[in-house]
Amino acid sequence: MLKNGKDLNSHIKHHNHIYSISDQENHDENILVLLLEEVNEDVIESVLQENPNKVIALDKLFKNNDQLKTNTALQMQDADIKFETI
């Protein structure tokens, strides 16, 4: 969180396997999404509806499904969302 410009007082919301982290004072702007539990097409669609600034996903969640990972990266790029896997 700290490396991505969020402080320890940020608002964290967990739903549908998505962790949404936003600034304490304004919950609708500058959203960071973390995918730490599961990745599938439904989760990706939910992330896109959140319209975050950046999405970070654990690489192992894609379970060597390169097609899903590539499609996710392209969908994020089309929506002007920074996407990173770790």
Helix%, strand%, coil% for the chain, nearest 5 = 35, 25, 40
Give the residue ranges of the chain where pLDDT is below 70: 24-28
Q: What is the pLDDT of residues 29-45, one digit of tens each?
A: 779 999 999 999 999 99
Domain borders along the chain are 2-85
Q: Hey, what are 83's tokens?
A: 């996407």
Cα 35 to Cα 17: distance, rounded to the nearest angstrom: 7
Tell me the pairing of strands 32-35 and 18-22. Answer: antiparallel
pTM for the predicted model, two decimal places: 0.89
Integer angstrom CA distances of residue 48 from 3, 9, 64: 22, 24, 22
Contact 61, 86 (CB under 8 A): no
